[in-house]
Structure 1
Amino acid sequence: MLSSQRQNKIMQLLRIKKMAKLHDLTVLLDVSIETVRRDIQHLVKKGQVEKIYGGIKYIEPVESLISARMTEQLAQKIAIAKRCAALVEDGDCIYIDSGTTTYHIVSFLKNKPNITVVTNSLPVAYELLTSTINVIIIGGTLRHSEKSITSNDFLFRFEHLNITKAFICASGVSVERGVSDFSLSEAITRKKIIDHAQQVYLAVDATKFQRDVAIQVCPLQAVSAIITDDTLDKSILEDVTALSLPIYIESPEQ
């Protein structure tokens, strides 16, 4: 078993039990204590687990402000956004989700004026102010931390939209539990978009995988394809392709 596969198994266990003893992990993985310690050290460096006496403890992910995430994994996010934009065709009505990866899609759309962009992202709407692209902003409640608007049924009727392609983001992605987010209101908005869009593309950098956060949005099978970067672990790629789900792997420009 590869080290990445062992670490995935450790994280799967911790998401359920929250803590694990070193001895139990050696039995589960059928490896030596030294091998387990090396795997744990790797997970500690990634900030996913915390060492405790005789074992490890799961670190619950927390959401950071969108402004703080803008420069994280920037090259990977731009590469993902470029692929997303390449999928947009003349006449499309697309949805661009709030998030730092989907935000970068806008810069690649300027030569595609015959499209309509539906969004809940204020930064996306602001970037399109000087363009000739049609923009529809969903109605609802302002979420200050994400600079986004989460929908209220009495203010916005999604069934009136004919969205050909939706580009959504996520705080967590796993094969077992699908797409997840920290915010219930964001999750509800994404669910509505997924229900009404003809095609749904999940645009996430590799750091979001094998990570489950508070609110489940949808199973992975509910999206049409995943667009991510070339740092994705091979074992995760194998798990995703086993679902017969198309996945685009993008490399940042050098």
Structure 2
Amino acid sequence: MNDRSAMRLTRLQQALAVGGTLHLREAARLCGVSEMTIRRDVAASDGAMTLLGGRLILASNPHYAPAYDLDRQKDSHALTKRRLCERAAGFIENGDTLFIDCGTTLLPLVGTLAARERLTVVTYALNVANAISLRPDVRLVLLGGHYHATSQSFGSDDMSTAIKRLGINRAFISAAGVHAERGVSCFHFHEVAPKQAAIACAAQRLLVVDESKIGQIRPAYFARLGDFDVVITDGDMAPSPENGGPRIIAA
């Protein structure tokens, strides 16, 4: 990206921060360039902006972010998610207390728990809780609050405090977006507090994501890549530096 393109992007971001959206034609007029130039600038913005129906929006704008539908996600990358969870299960030890995040990526992890003894699972996700409830050998801690049907998960003001009172050995975290510069994000703001609390207090933090999440930016930012000890993915991620950053495990 050259300096002129960077200046145009800054001007567009300022305009979008005030107005929310900007028609492609208006964006071109504002910057004194062609619509094609604006399209090229957007393509070079590393996902910070996008075009939706001929209008320019910020990817971080929650009002225009793509909707997350849990039912639609269940079959998305199903085999990959199972393989990722099989790799993740290799970190679990007998007697562990596990935090399992919401969504569909980590649901196959429940099926791997039979190989371990004396486990406790902490979750705010109804689909995970339902699956754990069928395993009498695993103790379940379900964090409650207001129920959000779109993600089949709960949210409350005191959930962070409840999580921090628990001794969590390993936190398995899912995400809708993983970006090298813009960090790790999800669709729903009520998920931020429990994710951050689990990351803050767990002895080991593991991010489990399929390749469709790599390079994406979603509305609700919740962590830096450096906040994790391990990233398990089938996506193309550069190995972490020896002096910091997570260990990348390809699945």
Pair 49,76 (structure 1): closer, same or farther in 2 beyond 3 Å? farther
Distance apart, 1:113 and its partner CA: 3.0
Distance apart, 1:82 and its partner CA: 0.9
Within the alignment, does 1:104 sit opposite 2:112 as a pair? no
Q: Which residue of structure 1 aligns with residue 240 of structure 2?
A: 241
Among the aligned pairs, what percent are the same residue?
26
Alpha-carbon distance between aligned partners in 2 of 1:154 and 1:174, rounded to the nearest angstrom: 27
What TM-score results when the alignment is normalised by the length of structure 2? 0.74
Distance apart, 1:198 and its partner CA: 1.1
Within the alignment, does 1:147 sit opposite 2:146 as a pair? no
Within the alignment, does 1:172 sit opposite 2:177 as a pair? yes
Q: 1:188 aligns with which of 193, 205, 208?
A: 193
**Unpaired segments of 5 or more residues in structure 2?**
1-5, 17-23, 29-34, 45-49, 60-64
How many pairs are equivalent? 215
Q: Which residue of structure 2 aligns with residue 33 of structure 1?
A: none
Pair 248,78 (structure 1): closer, same or farther in 2 beyond 3 Å? same
AA matched with 1:64: Y
Within the alignment, does 1:225 sit opposite 2:227 as a pair? no
Q: Which residue of structure 2 aligns with residue 76 of structure 1?
A: 80
Pair 57,227 (structure 1): closer, same or farther in 2 beyond 3 Å? same
Which aligned pairs between 1:119-134 and structure 2 lie closer than 5 A? Answer: 119-131=123-135, 132-134=137-139
- RMSD over aligned CA atoms reads 3.3
Distance apart, 1:130 and its partner CA: 2.5
Q: Which residue of structure 2 aligns with residue 4 of structure 1?
A: none
- Deviation digits for residues 133-154 of structure 1, max 9, x if unmatched? 1111113221111111123317
Q: Which residue of structure 1 aligns with residue 213 of structure 2?
A: 208
Q: Which residue of structure 2 aligns with residue 7 of structure 1?
A: none
Alpha-carbon distance between aligned partners in 2 of 1:214 and 1:24, rounded to the nearest angstrom: 23
Is contact 1:138-1:156 (8 Å) kept? no
What TM-score results when the alignment is normalised by the length of structure 1? 0.73
